[in-house]
């Protein structure tokens, strides 16, 4: 199986990391739209236009599937991408909703969703979770965490102050949906802040669970072929990929 992974920038590498850990694909083609990141502050029409351009780019590779690692794109542009692609396009939002529903017994569990402004404004997670009968839903846009992760600031004073800024007035949730590609890199600190009692839902793990339930993966690929593309400064993306993914 040959997969394309699309993100607005480097954050989608957290999803690639999960795909690599589970050795699902023979070949991974990553495209990060680094020239136009962030998508999280853009409007719906722009996000859809950029997403369709990414589908066009992926048409050069005869893919079996495209995974949209970006929560913002998954929230707004999945239908449009599926219409213009010649392979299935799968997004992290639906996968995250299913992973949450599978891992929480009580339908009145307090769930907090964090993500970019666009993802939170879309209410895509809440809509999906309501269909699964969850009702105690809270959402908070936490866009400042994105540039901090891009600066590779994963802990310390600034992170703690930012958590306090966003979360101090909120009740501790039973589940925290990391509705943004970058947030898995803050897992340790978020777990510390909210304590071990809060279950973190990670898009990368959610998409692996989703794929394994939907498709028959007969083989494991220990050393998949990987290609990394970016709309600006691909070398910088490749450097980060080597570092984050150990490849
Ligand atoms: N990749 C985006 C997401 O998961 C975060 C960065 C951006 O705003 O483009 O929503």
Q: Is the CB of 14 under 6 A from ligand 1?
A: no
Same domain? For 122 and 197 the reply is: yes
Same domain? For 12 and 85 the reply is: yes
pLDDT exceeding 90 applies to what percent of the chain? 99
Same domain? For 110 and 122 the reply is: yes
Q: DSSP letter for 59, please.
A: G
Q: Which of 185, 202, 219 lies at the terminal end of a domain, its last residue?
A: 202
Residue of minimum CA distance from atom 1 in ligand 1: 70
Domain of residue 121: give its range.
Answer: 94-202
Same domain? For 85 and 104 the reply is: no
Choosing from 5, 6, 7 the residue with most ligand 1 atoms within 8 A of its CB, the one to mutate for a pocket test is 7
Same domain? For 114 and 87 the reply is: no
Same domain? For 225 and 163 the reply is: no
Same domain? For 49 and 125 the reply is: no
Same domain? For 196 and 127 the reply is: yes
CA gap 204, 208 in Å, rounded: 6
| Catalytic residue annotation | 70, 180
Q: What is the CATH number of the domain that holds 121?
A: 3.40.50.1860
pLDDT at 247: 87
pLDDT at 143: 97
Residue ranges in 132-168 assigned as alpha helix (H): 145-150, 157-167
Q: Is the CB of 211 under 6 A from ligand 1?
A: no
Same domain? For 211 and 173 the reply is: no
Same domain? For 120 and 48 the reply is: no
pLDDT at 19: 97
Torsion of CA 203, 206, 207, 212, to 10 degrees: 170
User: Which stretches of the chain score pLDDT less than 70?
Assistant: none
pLDDT, tens digit (0-9, with 9 covering 90-100), for 42-64: 999 999 999 999 999 999 999 99
Same domain? For 103 and 42 the reply is: no
Same domain? For 65 and 86 the reply is: yes
């Amino acid at each position: 199986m040959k997969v394309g992974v699309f993100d607005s920038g480097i954050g989608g590498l957290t999803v690639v990391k999960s795909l690599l850990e589970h050795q699902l694909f023979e070949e991974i083609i990553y495209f990060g739209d680094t020239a136009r990141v962030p998508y999280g502050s853009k409007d719906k029409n722009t996000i859809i236009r950029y997403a369709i351009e990414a589908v066009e780019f992926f048409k050069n590779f005869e893919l079996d599937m495209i995974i949209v690692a970006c929560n913002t794109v998954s929230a707004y542009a999945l239908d449009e991408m599926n219409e213009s692609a010649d392979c299935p396009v799968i997004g992290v939002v639906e996968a995250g909703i299913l992973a949450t529903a599978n891992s929480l017994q009580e339908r009145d569990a307090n769930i907090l969703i964090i993500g970019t402004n666009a993802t939170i404004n879309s209410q895509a997670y809440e809509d999906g979770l309501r269909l699964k009968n969850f009702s105690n839903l809270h959402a908070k846009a936490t866009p400042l965490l994105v540039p901090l992760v891009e600066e590779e600031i994963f802990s310390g004073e600034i992170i703690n102050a930012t958590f306090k800024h966003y979360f101090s007035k909120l009740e501790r949730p039973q589940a925290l949906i990391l509705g943004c590609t970058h947030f898995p890199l803050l897992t340790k600190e978020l777990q510390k802040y909210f304590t071990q009692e809060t279950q973190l839902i990670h898009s990368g793990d959610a998409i692996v669970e989703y794929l394994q339930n939907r498709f028959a993966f007969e083989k494991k690929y220990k050393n998949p072929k990987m290609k990394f593309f970016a709309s600006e400064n691909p070398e910088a993306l490749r450097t980060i990929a080597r570092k984050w993914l150990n490849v």
